[in-house]
A = this chain, B = another copy of it.
Amino acid sequence: MKSYRAELWFNTKKRKELVNITPQVAEAIRKSGIKEGLCLVNAMHITASVFINDNESGLHQDFEEWLEKLAPYGKAYKHHQTGEDNGDAHLKRTIMGREVVVAITEGRLDFGPWEQIFYGEFDGQRRKRVLVKIIGE
């Protein structure tokens, strides 16, 4: 069994951003030399997400509006008694998910036609990271 580890770093210009990280994950798989296995991609911060969906800007706006409705910014979250103002970001990331696990087959991401991997930032404008961990052979 082989394993491989990489970190992807982000510092978004806006508080909330969705970033397509499919090319970076594909590159990590290529570097790993692993042909058959599993690849874990997870946010290492608890106000950010990694998820799979469509690379379509209208849908991304839909996600943003929907998350704002389900977990609004600026409410009197109890978490804010610590001095933070990002209670909403913890909830938004919970809806979108911390991680994805993807299959590697014949050395490539084993994906359906529209699957793309995104980093979902909900409290950005600072340096944060994603972990890529691959095991297989």
Chain A residues 102-116 with CB under 8 Å of chain B are 102-103, 105, 110-115
Q: In whole Å, how far is A69's beta carbon from the nearest beta carbon of chain B? A: 9
In whole angstroms, what is the CA distance A74 to B125 when docked?
Answer: 35
From B1, B59, B71, B94, A136 is in contact (CB under 8 Å) with B1
Q: How big is chain A's contact interface, by range?
A: 35 or more
- A51-B94, A99-B100 are known contacts. Are A59 and B78 too (CB-CB below 8 A)? yes
In whole angstroms, what is the CA distance A130 to B95 when docked?
Answer: 22
In whole angstroms, what is the CA distance A100 to B87 when docked?
Answer: 21
Are A98 and B100 closer than 8 Å at their CB atoms?
A: yes
Q: Give 13 A-B contacts (CB < 8 Å), ordered by A residue.
A: A3-B36, A3-B37, A5-B103, A40-B102, A46-B54, A53-B94, A58-B82, A59-B87, A62-B91, A66-B91, A94-B97, A97-B98, A135-B135
